Structure 1
Amino acid sequence: MSASVDPNQYTVKHEPYYEAVGDEIALYEAAYSARMPMMLKGPTGCGKSRFVEHMAWRLKRPLITVACNEDMTASDLVGRFLLDKDGTKWQDGPLATAARMGAICYLDEIVEARQDTTVVIHPLTDHRRTLPLDKKGELIEAHPDFQLVISYNPGYQSLMKDLKQSTKQRFGALDFDYPREAIEIAIVSKESGVDEKTAAKLVQIAHRARNLKGHGLDEGISTRLLVYAGQLINKGVTPLAACSMTMVTPLTDDPDMRDTLNAAVQTFFG
């Protein structure tokens, strides 16, 4: 399987736009030079995935991303035998593929996966840097350039959905949050094409909504949703409609909370 996988298909060919908010780029580069497994912690839509893409581009490494979910099994990560007209053949999973080729493997929202699934990453995240393929009877020794990166949203932690300490303590970690106001305005303007004045209004609405987290909202308005709103405005959609579609309706079904959010939108675009 590994011989037929072209690393170029996983190469990030164009620079993903990423606006640094601190020294996270230098810290990540140092971690990669040590091949340290990394954990990115922060709220939904604050730039964790974009950061990984940007770093893969900077480091010129292939990037294999896995969106974790509660139905994902260890075989989905590691690989399985498949039937075809010639009988059975082994198919590497994304983790095995990344370990063989020396890619960065990014497990997005890892706490969504079952704990019995996540334990398969343990041998790759300590001095062994190996991946046992028990069903195949093979032990993969990770390529020297391989690195494992995971992300999760601490805001959704619970007793049922959190990483074991035995997993957490295998990783270095970087905290992510929504960018500072000036940086977020620049990001929204650049990514959506709206002028900075409009971007500033969108960011101000987001700040008001983020203050409601834990007081009626599970999550604040993400930078990603601000970019969506800006893109619609840039396509000629009225700001009120664009904000309702991207910054109000996706967040909540509660009528009172929608009224509160719509009032914030009206304040800036009414």
Structure 2
Amino acid sequence: MTNGVTMIESSAPVPFYRQVGDEAEVFRAAARRGSPVLLKGPTGCGKTRFVEAMAHELGRELITVAGHEDMTSADLVGRFLLKGGETVWVDGPLTRAVRTGGICYLDEIVEARQDTTVVIHPLADHRRELPIDRLGATLKAAPGFQLVISYNPGYQSVLKSIKESTRQRFIAIELGFPPPAVETEIVAHEAGVDVDTARTLVTIGDAIRNIDGSPLREASSTRMLILAGGLVAEGLSLRRAVQSAIVEALTDDHDIIRALGELVDALLPRP
């Protein structure tokens, strides 16, 4: 992983993903058409893992780019760099995926400047091409190329939202937290804990998500439950693991931390 870019070969181990609805069928259909996909859902619900699983199933290289506010179009497309005393062109992650027919996944796209994301428009419609102004060239996307972007609607604001001209080019798939039985299986597998421990963690996570009038900006994600389970697998008590990986990670407000701790204590199995 370099500069926020992760490359995964299709020969990598099979990513563990449990389908909840028809998201895989929709993605496969979009992939057959070469249609771009927009994934939306809360932080830590499995958007990235879903893309990894689909890329593996389809046998395509996956190039993941983490969106951030300093991202420029050159970070995606490429730039001239000085190497060995001469100036050479170096493809960016988007250009590499276009050339090789891979999947380019732009994670949390709203974090990037809107003028940067405009570069993807010609790739996300019938043209399927990438203009590279600095080379005076336009690349046609190789067969198999697919563009996937994601964002968390909970973070949307006037300043951080996807432009309608971008959104309407994509097939949208909404992902949420899995139902308890599926989430329990995921936590047990990923954290390496027994089913009873995983079930308790899921119960706690679900209770936090459903607090009436919750003051929390984010809900307790599946990712957080897995992190807590991992601490249990390393020998920490369930209570301490939940406090560290969930309660104190969700907020810095001492009153809320205390209230969450009381909720957790009420849900933990009695000794």
Calculate the TM-score normalised by the size of structure 1: 0.94
Query: Distance in 1 between the 2:59 and 2:226 partners?
Result: 27
Look up the SS of the partner of 1:151 in the other structure: strand
Question: For each residue in 1:13-60, what CA deviation from the matched residue of structure 2 results, as whole angstroms up to 9, or x when unmatched?
Answer: 111000110111111111100111000000000000000000000000
Quote the residue 1:11 is aligned against: 10
User: In 2 relative to 1, CA 15–77 (structure 1 residues): closer, same or farther, beyond 3 Å?
Assistant: same
1:145 matches 2:137: no
Quote the residue 1:79 is aligned against: 78
1:213 is displaced (CA, Å) by 7.9
Q: How does 1:70-109 map to 2 (within 5 A)?
A: 70-109=69-108
Query: Distance in 1 between the 2:8 and 2:158 partners?
Result: 38
Quote the residue 2:3 is aligned against: none
Quote the residue 1:4 is aligned against: none
Look up the SS of the partner of 1:250 in the other structure: helix
Q: How many residues align?
A: 263
Check conservation: 1:46, 1:178, Cα contact below 8 A: yes
Quote the residue 2:262 is aligned against: 263
Q: How does 1:150-165 map to 2 (within 5 A)?
A: 150-165=149-164
User: In 2 relative to 1, CA 168–12 (structure 1 residues): closer, same or farther, beyond 3 Å?
Assistant: farther
User: In 2 relative to 1, CA 161–216 (structure 1 residues): closer, same or farther, beyond 3 Å?
Assistant: same
Query: Distance in 2 between the 1:70 and 1:83 partners?
Result: 25
User: In 2 relative to 1, CA 156–12 (structure 1 residues): closer, same or farther, beyond 3 Å?
Assistant: farther
Q: How does 1:16-55 map to 2 (within 5 A)?
A: 16-55=15-54
Look up the SS of the partner of 1:249 in the other structure: helix
Query: Distance in 1 between the 2:227 and 2:237 partners?
Result: 13
User: In 2 relative to 1, CA 9–256 (structure 1 residues): closer, same or farther, beyond 3 Å?
Assistant: closer
Look up the SS of the partner of 2:250 in the other structure: coil
1:183 is displaced (CA, Å) by 0.8
Query: Distance in 2 between the 1:32 and 1:49 partners?
Result: 16
Question: For each residue in 1:226-248, what CA deviation from the matched residue of structure 2 results, as whole angstroms up to 9, or x when unmatched?
Answer: 01111110111111111111001
Query: Distance in 2 between the 1:262 and 1:76 partners?
Result: 43
Check conservation: 2:8, 2:63, Cα contact below 8 A: no
Question: For each residue in 1:82-133, what CA deviation from the matched residue of structure 2 results, as whole angstroms up to 9, or x when unmatched?
Answer: 0122311001000000000000000000000000000000010111111011
Check conservation: 1:12, 1:56, Cα contact below 8 A: no
Check conservation: 1:12, 1:53, Cα contact below 8 A: no
1:214 is displaced (CA, Å) by 5.8
1:11 is displaced (CA, Å) by 3.0
Query: Distance in 2 between the 1:253 and 1:12 partners?
Result: 42
Query: Distance in 1 between the 2:112 and 2:182 partners?
Result: 33
Letter in 2 for 1:33: R
1:125 matches 2:127: no
- Give the aligned CA root-mean-square deviation in angstroms: 1.4
Query: Distance in 2 between the 1:211 and 1:89 partners?
Result: 54
Structure 1: tracts of 5 or more residues without a match: 1-7
Structure 2: tracts of 5 or more residues without a match: 1-6
User: In 2 relative to 1, CA 31–108 (structure 1 residues): closer, same or farther, beyond 3 Å?
Assistant: same
